[in-house]
Amino acid sequence: MKVLIVSPYFYPKTGGLENYAYNILKRLDLDITVICSNHLPENSIGLIEKIKMIRLKPTYTISNTPLRLDLIVKISNLLKREKFDIVNAHMCQYRSIQT
């Protein structure tokens, strides 16, 4: 089963949601991809344990919330290409994404 997690931040950034999601996901025997913001000034793709990470540089950060103007387009393209079974989004900005 293929799962996409959309989150503003993810491990190794520390915080409640980040730690909670990482500790659950690393134990699941699923094909998991996480798309989140990157604290570095560029995009990156990599693996943490068996979790595929797609980190995108935010266009803006308001308070501590990263915003990327083309994020909906990037997620839509990823959904078409990867055929995920489950999408779990942790931010209100993504409520309009339909699979």
Segment 48-67, tens digit of pLDDT: 989 999 999 888 888 877 88
Q: Kindly write down the DSSP assignment for every residue of 59-91, as one continuous string.
A: SEEETTEEE-TTHHHHHHHHHHHH--SEEEE-S
**Is there a domain that residue 17 lies in?**
yes
**Is there a domain that residue 99 lies in?**
no
pTM (2 d.p.)? 0.81
**Is there a domain that residue 10 lies in?**
yes
How many structural domains are present in the chain? 1
d(CA 59, CA 66): 8
Max mean pLDDT range (8-17, 40-49, 78-87): 78-87
**Is there a domain that residue 6 lies in?**
yes
Domain that includes residue 37, residue range: 2-94
Assess whether pLDDT exceeds 70 at residue 94. Answer: no
Instruction: Please report the pLDDT score of residue 81 as a whole number.
Output: 94
Share of the chain above pLDDT 90, in %: 35
CATH number of the domain at 79, please: 3.40.50.2000
Structure tokens at 59: 């266009």
**Is there a domain that residue 13 lies in?**
yes
